[in-house]
Structure 1
Amino acid sequence: MAIDFGTSYTTAAAATADQVSMIEVENSRYLPSAVCLDDEGELRTGQLALRLAAQRPQAAERVPKRALTTQSQVRLGSRTFTAVDLVAAVLDRVRSEAVAANDGQPPGRVVLTHPARWGERERGLLGKAAAAAGLPEPELMAEPVAAARYYASRHPVAIDGHVGVYDLGGGTFDAAVVQHTATGFAVAGPPGGDPELGGEDFDQALLDLVGRRAVDADPEPWYQLWHGDDDAAMRARAALTRNAREVKESLTEVTLGYLDVPGYEHQFLVRRHEFTESVLDLLDETVDRFLETVAAAGVAPGDLASVVLAGGASRMPAVSDRIHDRTGLLASAVNDPKGVVVMGAALPADTARPAPEQRRRPRDAPRFFTVRNPFDS
């Protein structure tokens, strides 16, 4: 079993003799990574944690992955927990669901993914959380390595070839270059990205876009929505933020979205091209960081076998468009980039398909790879 403990969502996948499939928790492939203390003093995870957090924000930790690396203790309501405790609660939830899905049998092998920039201290804390969750001693794998393994299981990558990984998750952006060696895959050069930039910033951009229109229509409901401190206002803000994320995600498939805003009788129309224009600066920042990472690895963009997209926010059409505009490359994507890392981590060790050396293409020739959606099988 593999677990990708993410900033916003946690995913898991299990390998059998002939396939790898994602494990559903709460009837979804994506378990919110949030943790919240309920009225009875129990740590709750997943969707329940999000619902409780809307009512009891002082008793919630929405991003325990970030807390794990920045603070040793976290105050939830009137109690104090270690950050390891909070991460363990999420991992334990995944473990219990995996055991239930496997007829009560615990996993014999566990792979936990982690950001490539994590050092020995952070990886040690993740290992402690795994032990506290009752998992066997895990194998730790860098997230971009897992993403590259997933890509290479479907598309040949030459020995000594390089793959770029562009991972835009809910709370962070990670970039890396991964090299295919004779013994597997390894991060080449220093990993890059921005730990403070992610899909939530794009959610906020959509809210800002709608907010300007709402204020033009009637500023009072918008002011009350964001300045009210009662339970109703907090629930309304949480619902609006959740709905904005859903509209953003819908714009990956359609060109028009509609957002309900508490206090307003009509819906607000959001056009895809308007949203794209509002986030171009954010997108350019991610591409800048990606190209800096490629350069630091000593690789020219045109020499990459592919740019693999990972993370839910990378589904935005503007991501691949901007990468192509800036590099001439067409990025590799699947319908569900949230699963790229965990599926790659769960693959057996010998799944990569090395390619024979081929004559180099012209540096300016774009390369396009179509990745079959693994969840259609």
Structure 2
Amino acid sequence: MSDWSLAIDFGTCFTTAAVRVEQSGPESGGATGGATGGAMGGAAAVEIENSRYLPSLVCLGDDGRLLTGRAAVQLAAQRPERAEHHPKRALLRQSAVLLDDREVETVDLAAAVLARVAAEARARFGGTDPARRVLTHPADWSPADLDRLVEAAGRAGLDAPDLLPEPVAAARFHAANTPAGDLGPIAVYDLGGGTVDTAVLRREGDGFRAVAVAGDPDFGGRDLDQALFELLRERALDLDPVPWQRLQADRTPVGAHQRSQLSREVTLAKESLSSTGTVYLAVPGYPEPFVVQGGEYRAAVTPALTASVGLLERTVARAGLTPAELGAVVLCGAASRTPPVADLVAARLGRIPEPTADPKAAVALGALTDPPAPVLPAGAAAGEAGSAVGGGRWAVAHYPAEVDPWFDHD
């Protein structure tokens, strides 16, 4: 069987992966059958449980095993004290977490997610191991953070992985899907489930190098969910506070399940507002669903999104550039589809951002995309394409404690 490569984008809320067959020829014809949507030699996203997006949530099972995917999501709805919703954050923040009455190393939480992805990918290639393993990571992670990620990979059976900054992977994906010849720097705005990261990259002989990076570890797609949740909460309390307070106070398994279900419905409604103007949300205890208009939601999230786009603007300035000098502005991360994002980027930078068909999978796919060949401007000497302005790594910011949206109000 042909050699194949695996890339994993371990995310705060969701994890994505891609595979690529590294050899072509008649003998490798069966190797691509399990890779979804890719031709021989091209990167293809991996589907797990019929989705490209595996929840990063990990839950402690009754038998002591760490569960992932649907099994973890289902059990977490019933036994929230056994769940770690954001193992990527936990990996940076602490060495262990308490799941129910058991202390679990955060490296093992990350390893459980990585091992699930690796097992699904191996199954598509007859159980063989990947010849190359790539893990993406935020550009501003410290060496100690990267060491923990590598340790988790080792425990997941993915020894000696290559490490690639997420914005570099996003830039590779963009370069492979746009016309050749663009020499301009690329700005990347990555709005994921739990964080927003920005970067400016320049082309070099071996691909791209980040010359300025910045991120906000306290803002991401979950905050957009929270904004919609608050609209719903205010509407419910105005109509009749008793059912909402009863739902909030119910500590039984039924109450936990109802709150978890409503949180999932809020997330789905937020995603629907990217393409529709109205959503309906049913809340236990209320006879009729609540209606939320797209304009209300946009008004609620615009201030925070404006601040995040301002971070991108400052990152461009830190790179010593003006927006006009950029070759492209690339949006990635699932939450970048939120309607105000593209409009705000265009307004603040004067540049229309480049559309991406699947902004969440772009990083994993880009990690297995060959770097663009160096292109020198007319009259340039060899080696000049790699020159960069600005530079220097920004110190990594660690994450504060999580806040449960159901219990942060009196």
Residue 89 in structure 1 maps to residue 112 in structure 2: yes
CA contact (8 A) 1:156 1:355 kept: no
Instruction: Identify the match of residue 285 of structure 2 among 259, 263, 287.
Output: 263
Would you say 1:50 and 2:73 are equivalent positions? yes
Query: Identity across aligned pairs (percent)?
Result: 46
Asked if the contact 2:190–2:336 (Cα under 8 Å) also holds between the matched residues in 1, the reply is yes
Q: Structure 1: how far apart are the matches of 2:277 and 2:373?
A: 37
Query: 2:369 corresponds to which letter in structure 1?
Result: L
**How far apart, CA to CA, are the structure 1 residues paired with 2:91 and 2:56?**
12
Alpha-carbon contact 2:265-2:281 (below 8 Å) kept: yes
Q: Considering only aligned residues, what root-mean-square deviation do their CA atoms show, in Å?
A: 1.7
Q: Aligned in 2, Cα 1:216/1:186: closer, same or farther, shift over 3 Å? A: same
Write the mapping of 1:145-164 to structure 2, written as runs, cut at 5 A.
Answer: 145-156=168-179, 161-164=184-187
C-alpha change, 1:159 and 1:249, in structure 2 (3 Å) is closer
Q: Structure 1 residues 221-230 or 258-267, which shifts more?
A: 221-230
**Are residues 1:194 and 2:216 paired?**
yes
- Judge conservation of contact 1:294–1:300 (CA < 8 Å) in 2: yes
Q: Which runs of 4+ in 1 moved over 6 A?
A: none
1:367 aligns to what?
none
Aligned to 2:7: 2
Distance 2:61 2:127 in 1: 28
Counterpart for residue 297 of structure 1: 319
Q: Compute the displacement of 1:289 (Å).
A: 1.1
Alignment of 1:236-251 (within 5 A): 236-251=258-273
> Partner of 2:299 in structure 1?
277
Tell me the residue number matched to 2:19: 14
The number of aligned residues is 356
The aligned residue for residue 370 of structure 2 is 348
Answer whether contact 2:45 2:52 (CA < 8 A) is retained: yes
Contact 2:205 2:374 (8 Å CA) reproduced: no
Task: List runs of 5+ in structure 1 lacking aligned partners.
Answer: 359-377
Unaligned runs of 5+ in 2: 1-5, 22-39, 380-410
Q: 2:123 matched to 1:100?
A: yes
Query: Shift of the alpha carbon at 1:353?
Result: 7.6
The whole-number CA distance in structure 2 between the counterparts of 1:253 and 1:18 is 34
Task: Find the aligned partners of 2:377 and 2:343 in 1 and give their Cα distance.
Answer: 30
3-state DSSP of counterpart to 2:361? helix
The alpha-carbon deviation at position 179 of structure 1 amounts to 1.0
CA distance in 2, matches of 1:335, 1:278: 26
CA shift, 1:161, in A, is 2.6
Separation in structure 2 between the aligned mates of residue 14 and residue 274 of structure 1, nearest angstrom: 40
Alignment of 1:120-135 (within 5 A): 120-135=143-158
- Give the secondary-structure state (helix, strand or coil) at the position aligned to 1:110: strand
Alignment of structure 1 residues 59-74 onto 2, 5 Å: 59-74=82-97
One-letter identity of the residue aligned with 1:268 = F
| Cα distance in 2, alignment partners of residues 354 and 156 from structure 1 | 13
Shift of 1:183: 2.1
Q: CA deviation at 1:292?
A: 1.4
Question: What CA distance in whole angstroms lies between the structure 2 residues aligned with 1:81 and 1:215?
Answer: 39
TM-score (normalised: structure 2)? 0.84
Give 1:18 deviation, angstroms: 2.9
Matched, 1:320 2:325: no
Report the Cα offset of residue 52 of structure 1.
1.2
* Alignment correspondent of 1:371: none
Kindly indicate whether the alpha-carbon contact (under 8 Å) linking 2:108 and 2:155 is maintained by their aligned counterparts in 1.
yes
